[in-house]
Every structure is written in structure tokens, then in C-alpha cells.
């Protein structure tokens, strides 16, 4: 399988506005310290880490909402590290993003159909209406929802609209940033199941950011553990859960609430 | 699937009815004033001076709200005064909203040096006492309708700029703006299609408020005789004249004052009512 993303020596720092002196530039906080990894085409990569580990920042670099300070990001062989917005625009249809908070990621003054159709129109698709219908079918929302506003939907339905918007363009890569953390457990299960199906149906490459290893375990083929802006472990899911190498990974695994706290992970498999 | 939205009956609301009704009445009176006003607003007649309103002893038929010390009909003068007041409210209010909201939107969404320049300008502007500023401006430009409109724009654009900037900033931090960027939307396009619709209810509410303020500022300028020329009646001018003879003819002061009060109140209530009625998010 070819690599869709190749990331080498990725550094990113952001200005620290709190400690900005009155004159002169703000000091910079380093968020990512030299990451190296690849994402193979068709892979489902889980990115885990505690809060402040840089996982969301890394995600936003992959879809180029943020520009790296140093290093290189190759998307399908093309260097997108420092491309400007105009040069990125034709590439945008190939990598999409699903946001954490479905309330703030959907424009409250637009209907569901307009929300899903907006990126399609921008990218110059002409069969917008048909694609909107198909995307709604894919995520299991009735077509009657086209005329609804986001505040008329439940949390799970809103997140489905977010997913529909991302898949409507049939991108090769989707970044899902903590997309189930705001949902109740039953909606979580439904959205995860949906994502799992979509990956298989559409042949998507997916990066799934979460702080919750049990969610990652259901969905992902590879897991990358981030801690304070560094990769501490990056291995196939099964191997990582069976025998975690890094101390931080073990810490994360131990923090998952189990039905029986005395039972080790390995025994749950049987 | 059942769509329950259509089943909810939304009443137009008492506040929208009352405020809209008063403003409509006033607009009709202003537009039709030359034809329906009972008297010439400038006609002086010392034989009919200080006639009381119709329900009091000594009232003359035809002079419904009485006359002032020069014998001019108060009702006719209020109707003609409404023309100036409403023109100023409409033009000055809209122009202030356009200029202030545009600058606020740019400052709040693009941030950076544009924000720096606009925000500093607002800070400096607000350090001037507004009414003195307006009087000074008109003293330099000369009286007239244009001067009044320009004065109101110059004093009040900061109100829009500040509020819209704050609103645009909070909307700009929302994920749907990042989502537009992921979709390949240009910055200017994002500002117009994503941010603007979300700050529009705020702008409309402020706009109606601003129209009320424009009416007040016009009255203040009329009061100090700096509004349009003394030939055409203004509410502010009437209040100033009525003040001089308030003990002998209170109606000359009170009726334009009530009209002014109701108009300003109606404008602000109209804004609230419209927001309740037409904002899809509040539905």
C-alpha cells in the first residue's frame, strides 16, 4: 500500500500571547517536537494522548489549518508543508475534516442541505443536489432533514451532518477530531459504527483523534500515542493493546474503566 | 416524517404590532403632511395664539392640539416635523450601520493590523464628547439636513464598530469558520457568507436602536437651533419654543415630547420584535 501522508521531523510552535511584551513579538510555545510517521492509504490511524499532548494540533496540520514551523508534510507525494491557501484550494477536496463540537461546526443560520452543499459548490461540483442526497443516505439521515436547521437536530444527528459534509466530496482522507466525545454513549456507538462502515464502503483513509483508547480500539488498525508533542508509541492496534511498550501507553491503558477492575486486558479478548 | 415546525403558530406579538403601528402612522403622517395637515405649519396668526387642545375650554375647532404663542397649529407642526425626523432616522441610521458594521466586521474577522488601526480609531473617537462634537461639526459645515446626517454618522459609527467587532470575533472562533477554510473558501467569502449572516440580527437590532438615537440627536440639534433651517418645523425646535411658555401653554412642549418619546421607544421595540420574529435560531 502506498503512503498517503509522509511526515518528517514536524515541528510546530505557536506565539504565547499571554506573555507577549508590550513591544516586540511574543515568545513561542513548542507544541510538536519533531514527529516522523506515515499514514498508509486505506489505513485507520488512531491518535491518542492526554489533553495538551498536541493531538488536535497535529490533526490541524494534516489538513493544513495550521502551518508547520519546521519539517515536511507530504500528501500523496506532494509537499503541502508551506503551500498558501490559493495553492491548497484544489487539494482541499481530497482531505476533509470532521469537527469535535457539531454545534459550533455547523453554521446555525444554514439548513442541513446548504451546509453539506457549500463545500461542493466551492469545489465546483455540478451535481450538488444529488450528492447531498447521497451523503444523507450514507450517514443514515432521512432526506426530509435537508430543510432543517442545526438547532433542530439532536447531537448525534448533528454529528452525522458533519460527517455527511466531509464525505460528500468523496475525499481520500478524513480527519476526525474527537468526534464522539460530545455524544452520549448510545450515539457514540452509532457514530462509530457508521464511521467503520463508511471507511470500508468508500475506501477512506482516516485519522481518528481521541483521548479514549477504548474508542480507538474498536475502530483503528494503527495507534499512535502522543505525549507532550512527541510520539511515544506507534504500532498496530492489536500489538499495542497486547503488550504496550511505553510507560505512558500503559498509564493510558490503566485509566480505562473496566467492568471488572481486577481483570487484565488480555483476558477480555476471550 | 412528521415535521412539527409548521404546527407551531407564531403570533406577531403585541410589541411588534404597537411599535410598527405607531411608526407606520407617523410615516403616513409625514408623507401626507402637505395634504392632510389641518393648517399651514408656518402660518402665524396672533388672534389664535395659545389656543388649548380640543378638550379644554376656549379651544377652537380645527386646532386639535392647540396652537403656540405665534398662533401656529401644533398638530400640523408635529406632522411636518416628522418628515425631518424620519428622513434623518432612515438615512443617518442606515449609513451609520453600513459604515460602522463594515469596519467592525473587518476588524473582528481579519484581526491583525486592520483590527489595530480600526480599534485605536474607535478608542480615540470615543474620547470626544459626542454632542459637542456634533455641534462643532455643524458650526463648521453650516446647518442643513446633510450636516445633521453627517454629524450623526460621525458620532455614532463607533457604536456599530465596537459591537460588530466583538460579535465577529466570537463567531470567527467557531468551528464552522474553520470548516469553511477546509472546504477551500476564501477569507472574504467566509466573512460575507458565514460570519455576516450570524452577526446580521445584532446589526438589525442595533440599527433600529440607532434610528431612535438619530431622532433624539436631531431633536437635540433642533433644540439648540442647529438642525435644518428654522423655516421648517422640527420636534426639537418645538420643544425649545414650548419651553419658553410652558406655564401658559404646556401643550406646545408636551405634545412634541410625547411624539418623540413614542417614536424612539417604537424604534427600539421594533428591533427586539423583529429579532424574535425572524431569527431562525430563536424559533
Q: Which of B1, B183, B281 sits opposite A92 (nearest CB)?
A: B183
CB A31 within 8 A of CB A227: no
Selecting from 3.40.50.300, 3.40.50.970, 3.30.420.40, 3.60.15.10, what CATH number does the domain A3-268 have?
A: 3.40.50.300
pLDDT at res. B1: 45
- Chain B residues with CB under 8 Å of A151 CB are 281
Would you call A65 and B183 a contact, using CB atoms and an 8 Å cutoff? no
CB A98 within 8 A of CB A162: yes
pLDDT at res. B272: 82
Among A85-99, A229-243, B113-127, B265-279, the least confident range: B265-279
CB A98 within 8 A of CB A108: no
Gap between the Cα atoms of A259 and A5, Å rounded:
37
DSSP state of A78: E
CB B89 within 8 A of CB B214: yes
- What is the distance in angstroms between the Cα of A75 and the nearest Cα belonging to chain B? 15
Gap between the Cα atoms of A258 and A269, Å rounded:
13
- Chain B residues with CB under 8 Å of A65 CB are 178, 181-182
Query: What is each CA distance from A83 to A68, A73, A87, in whole angstroms?
Result: 11, 10, 6
Would you call A105 and B174 a contact, using CB atoms and an 8 Å cutoff? yes
**Burial (Cβ within 10 Å: 0-12, 13-18, ≥19) of residue B101:** buried
Quick one: CA dihedral B24, B27, B31, B35, positive or negative?
A: positive
If you average pLDDT over residues B204-230, what whole number do you get? 87
- Chain A residues with CB under 8 Å of B281 CB are 108-109, 149, 151
Chain A interface, best mutation among B6, B167, B174, B182, by max A CB count within 10 A: B182
Count of CB contacts below 8 A, A vs B? 65
Would you call B175 and A104 a contact, using CB atoms and an 8 Å cutoff? yes
Query: What is each CA distance from A239 to A49, A219, A244, A262, B67, in whole angstroms?
Result: 18, 15, 7, 21, 97
The helix-helix angle for B235-244 and B74-110 (nearest 10°) equals 130
pLDDT over threshold 60, residue B5: no
pLDDT over threshold 60, residue B4: no
Torsion of CA A146, A148, A154, A160, to 10 degrees: 30
Gap between the Cα atoms of A239 and A116, Å rounded:
38
pLDDT over threshold 50, residue B62: yes
CB A160 within 8 A of CB A188: no
If you average pLDDT over residues B123-131, what whole number do you get? 87
Q: Does A236 touch chain B (CB under 8 A)?
A: no
Gap between the Cα atoms of A77 and A97, Å rounded:
20
pLDDT at res. A71: 92
CB A15 within 8 A of CB A25: yes
- Chain B residues with CB under 8 Å of A118 CB are 180, 183, 185, 193
Gap between the Cα atoms of A111 and A237, Å rounded:
39
Average pLDDT of the residues of chain B: 88
Selecting from 2.70.150.10, 1.10.3720.10, 1.10.10.10, 2.60.40.420, what CATH number does the domain B14-33+45-282 have?
A: 1.10.3720.10
Would you call B281 and A93 a contact, using CB atoms and an 8 Å cutoff? no
Q: Does B116 touch chain A (CB under 8 A)?
A: no
pLDDT over threshold 80, residue B269: yes
Would you call B1 and A152 a contact, using CB atoms and an 8 Å cutoff? no
Q: Does A235 touch chain B (CB under 8 A)?
A: no
pLDDT over threshold 50, residue B128: yes
- What is the distance in angstroms between the Cα of B124 and the nearest Cα belonging to chain A? 19
Give the pLDDT confidence of A142-154 residue by residue, as tens digits. 999 999 999 899 9
Q: Does A17 touch chain B (CB under 8 A)?
A: no
pLDDT at res. A145: 93
Gap between the Cα atoms of B198 and B202, Å rounded:
8
The helix-helix angle for A155-167 and A128-138 (nearest 10°) equals 130
- Chain B residues with CB under 8 Å of A101 CB are 175
The pTM of the full predicted model, rounded to 2 decimals, is 0.84
- What is the distance in angstroms between the Cα of B234 and the nearest Cα belonging to chain A? 42
Q: Does A85 touch chain B (CB under 8 A)?
A: yes
CB crowding A58-95: b at 16 or more within 10 Å, else e: bbbbbbbebebeebebbbbeeebbebeeeebbebbbbb
pLDDT at res. A213: 85
Chain-centroid distance, C-alpha B187: 33
**Burial (Cβ within 10 Å: 0-12, 13-18, ≥19) of residue B73:** buried
Q: What is the pLDDT along chain A (270 residues), one digit of tens a residue?
A: 588 999 999 999 988 877 878 777 888 888 999 999 999 998 999 999 888 889 999 999 999 999 999 999 999 989 999 999 889 998 998 999 999 888 899 999 899 999 999 999 988 888 899 999 999 998 989 999 999 999 899 988 999 999 999 999 889 999 999 888 888 888 888 888 888 888 888 889 999 999 888 888 888 999 999 999 999 999 999 999 888 888 888 888 888 777 766 766 665 555
pLDDT, greater one: A208 or B62:
A208
DSSP, collapsed to helix, strand or coil, labels residue A156 as helix
Q: Which ipTM score applies to this complex?
A: 0.85
Give the pLDDT confidence of B143-158 residue by residue, as tens digits. 888 999 999 999 899 9
- Chain B residues with CB under 8 Å of A97 CB are 178-179, 182
- Chain A residues with CB under 8 Å of B111 CB are none
pLDDT at res. A35: 92
Give the pLDDT confidence of B13-52 residue by residue, as tens digits. 788 889 999 999 999 999 998 898 888 888 888 888 888 8
Gap between the Cα atoms of A2 and A75, Å rounded:
11
DSSP state of B6: G
Would you call B176 and A105 a contact, using CB atoms and an 8 Å cutoff? yes
If you average pLDDT over residues B220-235, what whole number do you get? 83
Amino acid at each position: 500500500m502506498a503512503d498517503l501522508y509522509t511526515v518528517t521531523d514536524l515541528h510546530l510552535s505557536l506565539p504565547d500571547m499571554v506573555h507577549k511584551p508590550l513591544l516586540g513579538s511574543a515568545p513561542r510555545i513548542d507544541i510538536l517536537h519533531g514527529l516522523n510517521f506515515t499514514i498508509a492509504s486505506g489505513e485507520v490511524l488512531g491518535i491518542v494522548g492526554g489533553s495538551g499532548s498536541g493531538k488536535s494540533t497535529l490533526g490541524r496540520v494534516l489538513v493544513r489549518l495550521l502551518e508547520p514551523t519546521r519539517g515536511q508534510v507530504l500528501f500523496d507525494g506532494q509537499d503541502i508543508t508551506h503551500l498558501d491557501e490559493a495553492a491548497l484550494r484544489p487539494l482541499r477536496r481530497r482531505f476533509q475534516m470532521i469537527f469535535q463540537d457539531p454545534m459550533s461546526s455547523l453554521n446555525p443560520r444554514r439548513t442541513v442541505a446548504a451546509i453539506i452543499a457549500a463545500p461542493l459548490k466551492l469545489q465546483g461540483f455540478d451535481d450538488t443536489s444529488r450528492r447531498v442526497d447521497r451523503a444523507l443516505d450514507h450517514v443514515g439521515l432521512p432526506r426530509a432533514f435537508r430543510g432543517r436547521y442545526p438547532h433542530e437536530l439532536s447531537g448525534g444527528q448533528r454529528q452525522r451532518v458533519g460527517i455527511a459534509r466531509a464525505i460528500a466530496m468523496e475525499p481520500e482522507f478524513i480527519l476526525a477530531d474527537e468526534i464522539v466525545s460530545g455524544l452520549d454513549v448510545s450515539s457514540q456507538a452509532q457514530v462509530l459504527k457508521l464511521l467503520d462502515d463508511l471507511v470500508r464502503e468508500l475506501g477512506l483513509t482516516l485519522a481518528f483523534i481521541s483521548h479514549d483508547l477504548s474508542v480507538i480500539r474498536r475502530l483503528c488498525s494503527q495507534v499512535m500515542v502522543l505525549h507532550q508533542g512527541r510520539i511515544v508509541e506507534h504500532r498496530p492496534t492489536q500489538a499495542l493493546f497486547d503488550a504496550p511498550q511505553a510507560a505512558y501507553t500503559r498509564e493510558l491503558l490503566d485509566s480505562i474503566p473496566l467492568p471488572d477492575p481486577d481483570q487484565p486486558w488480555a483476558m477480555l479478548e476471550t | 416524517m412528521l415535521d412539527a415546525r409548521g404546527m407551531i403558530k407564531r403570533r406577531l406579538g403585541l410589541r411588534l404590532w404597537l411599535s410598527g403601528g405607531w411608526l407606520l402612522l407617523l410615516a403616513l403622517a409625514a408623507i401626507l403632511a402637505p395634504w392632510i395637515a389641518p393648517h399651514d405649519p408656518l402660518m402665524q396668526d396672533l388672534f389664535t395664539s395659545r389656543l388649548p387642545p380640543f378638550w379644554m375650554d376656549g379651544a377652537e375647532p380645527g386646532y386639535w392640539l392647540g396652537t403656540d404663542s405665534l398662533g401656529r397649529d401644533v398638530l400640523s407642526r408635529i406632522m411636518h416635523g416628522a418628515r425631518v425626523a424620519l428622513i434623518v432616522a432612515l438615512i443617518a441610521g442606515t449609513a451609520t450601520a453600513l459604515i460602522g458594521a463594515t469596519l467592525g466586521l473587518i476588524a473582528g474577522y481579519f484581526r491583525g493590523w486592520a483590527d489595530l488601526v480600526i480599534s485605536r480609531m474607535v478608542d480615540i473617537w470615543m474620547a470626544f464628547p459626542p454632542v459637542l462634537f456634533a455641534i462643532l461639526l455643524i458650526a463648521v459645515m453650516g446647518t442643513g439636513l446633510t450636516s445633521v446626517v453627517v454629524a450623526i454618522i460621525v458620532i455614532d459609527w463607533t457604536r456599530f464598530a465596537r459591537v460588530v467587532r466583538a460579535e465577529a470575533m466570537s463567531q470567527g472562533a467557531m468551528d464552522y469558520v474553520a470548516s469553511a477554510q477546509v472546504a477551500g473558501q476564501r477569507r472574504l467569502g467566509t466573512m460575507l457568507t458565514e460570519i455576516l449572516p450570524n452577526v446580521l440580527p445584532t446589526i438589525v437590532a442595533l440599527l433600529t436602536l440607532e434610528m431612535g438615537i438619530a431622532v433624539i440627536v436631531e431633536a437635540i440639534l433642533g433644540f439648540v437651533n442647529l438642525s435644518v433651517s428654522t423655516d421648517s418645523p422640527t420636534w426639537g425646535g418645538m420643544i425649545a419654543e414650548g419651553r419658553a411658555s410652558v406655564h401658559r401653554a404646556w401643550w406646545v412642549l408636551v405634545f412634541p415630547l410625547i411624539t418623540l418619546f413614542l417614536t424612539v421607544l417604537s424604534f427600539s421595540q421594533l428591533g427586539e420584535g423583529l429579532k424574535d420574529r425572524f431569527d431562525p435560531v430563536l424559533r
